[in-house]
Amino acid sequence: MNWKTHAQRLAADVVRPESRWYEPLATTPRHLFVPRWWENRDQAWKLRDGPADPEAWMRAAYADQTLVTRVGPVHADHAQTGDTVTEGKPTSSSTLPGLVVTMYRHAVIADDSRVLVTTGTGYGTSLLCQRLGDERVTSVDVDAHLVKVAGERLDSMGLHPRTAVCDITGPLPGEHDRIVSTVSVRPVPTSWLAALRPGGRLVTTIAGTGLILTADKTEDGGAMGRIAPDAAGFMRTRHGDDYDHPTQEAWEKAQADGEQVSTSRYPLLYVPDSWEVMSMLELLLPGIDYRTALDGDKRTVWMLHPDGSWARATADGFLDSPTVHQGGPRRLWDALERIRHRLNREGGLPVYGARVAITPDGETTLSRGSWSLTL
């Protein structure tokens, strides 16, 4: 397999030739880190085995796309040919290369920076090792299997960064000039502030949003920064083999008539399709789970919250006003409508470009103009 030709094409798609990230992208064998992955087909996750179809493997591995390697507790490495997973959400992946580079660019990594990153498949760690040298890179993950396998694949390339199995929301090994997390958190863990050197920078995303947060450590041990103008989404941190499923009770209740029934003034919106609206709503009501279904021209959207609140909206056509059922202690659709009112009134929402202030004890506040919110 002539993987280098594919890698060079990927590099040209992601960056310009003079970029310092061009050479790492063009010389890193991404297929080595993703020999198997899960592909979503017909509402089920089907195993794809790279060596069994080398051409498809090269196309997938060297496209600027995310490849899901773990669904629920089931890792593609441990699955059997022909396996299908019908339930569960992605819990690990190889992030699309362009987004990995975007996160590294937000970190403003210098040639002498010491950087801590999250492991995943190890592909992002490899890019960083190629750029800085492996002695400047630390790679961590909560999943011992991922750390072991990524370490072996990096070793096969002659790269030997420091690796560790740890929960990134807890104590981190060593001190670093940069921390770049490709899993999302809320709030920023205080352990990151402790592990950053004076003036160091952290880059992450806020869980459940499309918000990239960058912040530089200040003299008092806190950090100051802002929300980047571009959007990105990563899986939430997990602390075991799988995520909890706190909205199952709300899902069961959401099949019945609501305590409140109304007609929305806006066309039906599946919130994850709008980064700005989703981010604003998640900041106000963290933990909402979204589901959708299509039956001919009839579309239904559900919003579910761990506190038992739920909303179900159904519309017969794209422009028809949906009928909304709501139940539980809070009215989720009403909260969504208020955000859409603001978006229509002001032409935008204050989340992107907001300033970020993190106190030494980890309290994180976003602000823009007269708007502010503490996570």
Neighbours of 356 (CB within 10 A): 21
Residue ranges in the chain assigned as alpha helix (H)? 3-14, 22-27, 30-33, 54-61, 97-107, 123-132, 144-156, 190-195, 248-253, 275-284, 332-346
∠ CA(213), CA(239), CA(99), 5° rounding?
A: 35
- Structure-block tokens of residue 120: 């995943």
Distance between CA 370 and CA 375 in Å, rounded? 17
pLDDT of residue 20: 96
Distance between CA 139 and CA 197 in Å, rounded? 17
pLDDT digit string, tens, across residues 206-230:
999 999 999 999 999 999 999 999 9
Tokens 């999250």 sit on residue:
118
Let me know: does 261 contact 316? Beta carbons within 8 Å.
no
Exposed e or buried b for every residue in 4-24, given b needs 16+ CB within 10 A? eebbbebbeebbeeeeebbeb
* CA-wise closest residue to 264 among 344, 311, 345, 321: 321
pLDDT of residue 149: 96
- Structure-block tokens of residue 106: 């937000």
One digit per residue, the tens of pLDDT, for the chain of length 375 reads 789 999 999 999 999 999 999 999 999 999 999 999 999 987 899 999 999 999 999 999 999 999 999 998 999 999 988 889 988 889 999 999 999 999 999 999 999 999 999 999 999 999 999 999 999 999 999 999 999 999 999 999 999 999 999 999 999 999 999 999 999 999 999 999 999 999 999 999 999 999 999 999 999 999 999 999 999 989 888 877 767 778 889 999 999 999 999 999 899 999 999 999 999 999 999 999 999 999 988 999 999 999 999 999 999 977 788 999 999 999 999 999 999 999 999 999 999 999 999 999 999 999 999 999 999
pLDDT of residue 32: 97
Tell me the Ramachandran region of residue 69: left when phi exceeds 0, alpha when psi lies from -120 to 50, beta otherwise: alpha
Class of domain 248-346: alpha beta
Distance between CA 199 and CA 112 in Å, rounded? 14
Residue 364 to residues 17, 192, 199, 351, 374, Cα–Cα distance (Å):
38, 13, 18, 14, 6
Q: Which amino acid is at 9?
A: R
3-231 belongs to which homologous superfamily? Vaccinia Virus protein VP39 (3.40.50.150)
Cis before 187 (ω within 30): yes
Task: Give the residue extent of every domain in the chain.
Answer: 3-231, 248-346
The whole-angstrom distance between residue 287's C-alpha and the CA centroid of its chain comes to 14
pLDDT digit string, tens, across residues 6-28:
999 999 999 999 999 999 999 99
Q: Which amino acid is at 238?
A: R
For residue 76, what is the DSSP state?
Answer: G
pLDDT of residue 142: 93
pLDDT of residue 319: 74
- What pTM did the predictor assign? 0.93
pLDDT of residue 240: 73
Let me know: does 40 contact 12? Beta carbons within 8 Å.
no
Phi and psi, residue 71, nearest 5°: -120, 120
Neighbours of 296 (CB within 10 A): 6
